[in-house]
Amino acid sequence: MAPPPPPTRCLPVLLLLLLLLLVVAPLLAHGRRPFISDGGNANAYANASVLRLPSAAAAAAAGEDMGCEMSYGILPCTTTAWGNLFLVLAYGFLMFKSATYLSSGSEMLLQILGPGIVGGLFLPILGALPDALLILVSGLSGTKEVAQSQVLIGMGLLAGSTVMLLTLLWGSCVVVGKCDLSENSTAIDSRDTKGFSLLGSGVSTDKQTSYAARIMAISVLPFIIVQIPKIFKLHSGHQITVLIGLIVAALLLLSYCLYQVFQPWIQRRRLEYTRLKHVMSGLLRHAQKHSIGRLLDDEGRPNVSVIEKLFHRIDQDNDGKLERGELQSFIVGINFEDIDWNSNLAADQVMADFDTSRNHFIEKVEFVNGMLRWLDEAKRTVTSGAYSKKFLNDFHARTRDEQTGLLDKDEEEGEADGNPTWTCIKAILLLLLGTAMAAASADPLVDAVHNFSNATHIPSFFISFIVMPLATNSSEAVSAIIFASRKKKRTLSLTFSEVYGGVTMNNTLCLAVFLALVYVRGLTWDFSSEVLIILLVCIIMGLFTSFRTDFPLWTCFVAFLLYPLSLIMVYILDYKFGWS
């Protein structure tokens, strides 16, 4: 039976929604200063510099006169270090949740509008929306002097997000995804017997991942353009180079989105892995319901005997190994709820994941090890509070939502969502909730970082560089590490492609927002050290990953070292050589 037609009645609603999200979100984030006065000296606060380390006497004098300003006139504020640290954590958590809702809602749009349009044009923009909003509000309000001071928070987020993705996250994925390297330096899937051998273990990716790295390296072009007056020590032309950089960043963003529309290989990879996750969750839940005993005990330890009983139940001819036909027969009996699953595809994916010996059979040891690996990933994905039937139901529900949001009706026949109207409504609600939370918490978060900087005398750039990327990128980081831990070339390729794609959006969309802010408000472009570390990290990692697909374990230390070196470089250039 042919799949039902897509819910075209949702198309105009969603297109209008997406337009409103991109237009109204900055207006929501701009609802600040001041609604209700708290009696503090706002001018003293506004003119406080976050770029210099004040003396103790000056700090004490300022502390007596300086008050705080409540965002929207109702949200709490404080001038103490501990109070602002709490506010940074609280608003950062709200920003983290908003990023999660935007990610889930935007993926569901793939079910409604198709991956060619939504996945390529809207999904990357919605994914980068929290970062873009934070950058926007960092210099949107107040006088020009206040904006010049606070916009450093936006630059800290822009630089910190890029550096974190390419150093800490990239290196962590190499560590958790490492496998034994063969004689030709290619990683052997699922084999990790050499421990932490710097030359004997590592990861491998495919050529398409190196293409994503090259796109990322090209995306640094706007940074170079805006630095031309500084490079050649020109005394004029700063505003025009900012405008040119803005135009180039916008054109690169449009080109990148259109590239994904007409060459949607990144979306297909995400779809393939999400299918595997839903097969995994369906098998685990079915095994939990129909096996003799529980797969996990009360303390979360796997019951190997129950897994072995499940193996013998699937092994119909009792020959001690599972053939593809036996596996498919078992999968046919599994209820995947709303999704009409392709059992042939599911059997192929399970065979590819379990058959580590590549002999076209799944032996008992391979089956047990595969189930243990799946259970471990399920435990890390959800936190139900108890290792029970609810734990596996939660995991299955999460993967079903991801699968529903990533199915491509134009390419896969026989796979359809049983309730497209509900999917449409849920996607709209998640996008509205995520956008509202991001817009509402962006301004208070920037204020809390600014106040924490004043209270601790730590430059706001370093606070936003370290803390704010954790709020906006931690969800994607956890998913990337889970993907990498599967120790498969395919999933590692997907992981690194997502990392490079995130950096590309930082270098295009987020930079375009930042440059527009600088140009419209007439701010001074004085971010040479910050731009330098972005260029160095992107170019080093871009060139390093563009022309090779095999990465021994020692390469993770190169990535890890770039993170502290970036912070040290900014400090030395700004506070020792006076670049800022």
Q: Read off the pLDDT of residues 296-353 as tens digits, 9 standing for 90 and up.
A: 776 677 788 888 888 888 888 888 888 888 887 877 766 544 444 566 767 777 787 7
> Residue 318 belongs to a domain with what CATH number?
1.10.238.10
pLDDT at site 261: 77
Average of per-residue pLDDT across 183-211:
89
- Read off the pLDDT band of 517 (50, 70, 90): very high
Whole-number pLDDT of residue 416: 41
Does residue 158 have a pLDDT over 60?
yes
Q: What does the pLDDT read at residue 201?
A: 93
Q: Are 292 and 312 in contact (CB under 8 A)?
A: no
> Quick one: pLDDT band at residue 507, thresholds 50, 70, 90?
very high
Name residues whose C-beta falls within 8 Å of residue 14's C-beta, 6 or more positions apart in sequence: 109, 112, 113, 424, 427, 428
pLDDT above 50 (res 111) = yes
Question: Could you tell me the pLDDT band of residue 33, with boundaries at 50, 70 and 90?
Answer: very low
pLDDT of residue 306: 82
3-state secondary structure at position 229: helix
Per the CB < 8 A criterion, the answer to whether 474 and 89 are in contact is no
Residue 380: the pLDDT is: 60
Would you call 74 exposed, middle or buried from its count of C-beta atoms within 10 A (0-12, 13-18, 19+)? exposed
Domain span at residue 381 reads 273-406
- pLDDT digits 0-9 by tens, 49-76: 444 444 444 433 444 344 677 877 788 8
Averaged pLDDT for residues 409-428: 57
**17 — pLDDT class (breaks 50, 70, 90):** low
The predicted pLDDT at position 412 comes to 37
- Average pLDDT in the 447-462 region? 90
Mean pLDDT, to the nearest integer, of 220-224?
Answer: 96
Residue 119 has pLDDT above 70, yes or no: no
SS3 of residue 339 by DSSP: strand
Eight-class DSSP state of 294: -
Q: So what's the pLDDT on residue 25?
A: 54
pLDDT at 38: 43
Domain for residue 131, yes or no? no
Say which residue, 33 or 321, is predicted with more confidence: 321
Per the prediction, the chain carries an average pLDDT of 77
Residue the block writes with tokens 């969800």? 475
Q: Residue 396 pLDDT more than 70? A: no
3-state secondary structure of 407: coil
Point out the least confidently predicted range of 152-156, 166-170, 331-335, 344-348: 331-335
Integer CA distances (angstroms), 40 to 43, 251, 307, 405, in order: 9, 45, 65, 49
Tokens of 284: 């685990």
Q: Which of 8, 68, 79, 35 is nearest to 456 (CA)?
A: 79
When divided into structural domains, the chain yields a total of 1
**7: Cβ contacts below 8 Å, ≥ 6 apart:** 112, 420, 421, 423, 424
Helix (H) or strand (E) holding 204: strand 201-204
- Which residue has better confidence, 454 or 17? 454
Q: What is the CA radius of gyration of the chain?
A: 26
Identify the pLDDT of residue 379.
Answer: 65
Average the pLDDT over 434-460 and give the result: 89
Q: What is the mean pLDDT of residues 359-387?
A: 71
φ/ψ region of 73 (left if φ > 0, alpha if ψ in -120 to 50, else beta) reads left
* In 326-440, beta strands by DSSP E: 362-363
Q: H-type helices in 30-143, by residue range?
A: 42-46, 56-65, 81-113, 123-127, 129-137
Is 230 a domain residue? no
3-state SS, one letter per residue, for 447-463: HHHHHHHHHHCCCHHHH
In a domain, 386, yes or no: yes
Band (532; pLDDT cuts 50, 70, 90): very high
In a domain, 505, yes or no: no
The tally of CA atoms less than 13 A away on the side-chain side of residue 233 is 1
Q: For 250-299, what is each residue's pLDDT tens digit?
A: 999 999 888 877 777 666 665 565 556 556 666 666 666 655 557 777 66
Task: Categorise residue 185: left if φ over 0, alpha if ψ from -120 to 50, beta otherwise.
Answer: left
pLDDT at 494: 82
Highest mean pLDDT (candidates 375-379, 389-393, 409-413): 375-379
pLDDT of 417 strictly over 70: no
Residue 286: the pLDDT is 63
Dihedral sign from CA coordinates of 266, 267, 270, 276: negative
pLDDT band at 389 (very low <50, low <70, confident <90, very high): very low
Q: 326 lies in a domain?
A: yes
pLDDT at 401: 45
User: Which has the higher per-residue pLDDT, 251 or 404?
Assistant: 251
Confidence of residue 90 (pLDDT cuts 50, 70, 90): very high
Cα–Cα dist 474/169, whole Å:
10
State yes or no: pLDDT of 439 exceeds 80: yes
Residue 499 lies in a domain: no
**Confidence at 410, pLDDT banded by 50, 70, 90:** very low
More confident residue, 386 or 309: 309
pLDDT at residue 343, as a whole number? 66
Residue 293 falls inside a structural domain: yes
Q: Higher confidence at residue 269 or residue 426?
A: 426
Answer yes or no: are the C-beta atoms of 219 and 508 closer than 8 Å: yes
What is the average per-residue pLDDT within 377-389?
52
pTM over 0.75: no
Six-digit token string for 65: 């006169």
Reply yes or no on whether the pLDDT at 242 is more than 60. Answer: yes
